[in-house]
Amino acid sequence: MIAENKGKLAIYWAASCGGCEIAVLAIDEKILDVAKHFDIVFWPCATDGKVRDVEKMADGSIDVCLFNGGIRTSEQEYMARLLRRKAKVLVAFGSCASEGCIPGLANTSDRKEIFRTVYQETPSTENPRGVEPQHVTEMPEGKLYLPIFYDTLFTLDQIVDVDYYLPGCPPEAERIWDAITAILENKLPPKGSVIGVNTTVCDECPRKRSEKKIRKFYRTWEIIPDEETCLLEQGLVCAGVATRAGCGAKCPQVNSPCIGCYGVNDGAVDFGARLMSALASVIDSDDPEEIDRIIREGIPDPVGTFYRFNLAHSLLRRKKKAAAGA
């Protein structure tokens, strides 16, 4: 039974790994405070709510919806539009909803290429008839329908209006609780804001920094860095210089470079462009051929390095589509 004096909370999982769903539970015993103030009216991962129940709710009757995952299918688009209507506050919860994250890297391909790889070309696939998912399949009993798989993965705000963003892959428990507290105390920032810290991971990182002069970039498996010096100064591509803080610099603190999962902080339009600019400024060479060699050998996967979490929300968004009939 839904209590009248409690807020109503919905949580939904679209195109993502599901880590954000688990991250909600990382607030530990504070989940009891959430239960004290909110009734969870829709959370398919954990409760037996039905879409038809949400459809019957009055528009605006859900106080807060935490929507994680990008939009890859027609079903996910339908749910994004439905929950936008039903929720007073819609939060793009986690990197997939905010930026596209790892699923967004598939925007370097189209649907045809993805299906060919997944259903025909992988070493473990046995599919001699080349069967692929179809939107409609005729059966003796009638038509079977699957959601339409889109050519492009979209971020949540490319489909519907988003009120707030909570970045991270997944968001850290402390930041989730900050967001819940802001909602409960009615202390939310202006609409469209990122709920978090507007500085960079470098500002949270305890490592010693000096002037950076890089002659070679290393892959993470090529060296064992010392535990006190800035990782970028040791030649590892650490994205902390371009990444929003909020995680507590957890990766650098365990001797691993920041990979950028909290996205770009305020004032920057494109994460990849900002990171490229930062790395270009530390290469210790004026010779174009030498610079090209340093980048080519040390950064063999530019898209995966500079746009790992944000290709779908970047200025690039996806690879250029072929012209019709080409």
Tell me: pLDDT of 1 over 70: no
Query: Which among 238, 229, 233 has a CA at the least distance from the CA of 208?
Result: 229
Q: What is the end-to-end Cα distance of the chain in Å, rounded?
A: 58
Among residues of the chain, what percentage have pLDDT more than 90? 78
Q: Give the CA angle between residues 270, 274, 276 to the nearest 5°.
A: 120
Domain boundaries along the sequence of the chain: 7-102+153-184, 113-150, 201-313
Take residue 36 and report the two structure tokens written for it.
């004290």
pTM assigned to the model: 0.91
Average pLDDT over residues 303-317: 95
Q: CA torsion, points 235, 236, 242, 244, in degrees to nearest 10?
A: -140
- List pLDDT tens digits, range 188-226: 889 999 988 889 999 999 999 988 888 999 999 999 999
Tell me: pLDDT of 4 over 60: no
Radius of gyration of the chain (CA): 22
Residue 184: per-residue pLDDT: 85
pLDDT-derived band at 325 (thresholds 50, 70, 90) equals low
| Phi, psi angle pair for 97, to nearest 5° | -70, -35
- List pLDDT tens digits, range 117-170: 999 999 999 999 999 999 999 999 999 999 999 999 999 999 999 999 999 999
Average pLDDT over residues 262-288: 91
User: Tokens 């019957």 belong to which residue?
Assistant: 56
- DSSP-derived letter for residue 236 is B
Pick one of 3.40.50.970, 3.30.70.20, 3.40.50.700, 3.50.50.60 as the CATH number of 7-102+153-184. 3.40.50.700
Report H helices in 59-123: 74-86, 95-99, 101-104, 111-116
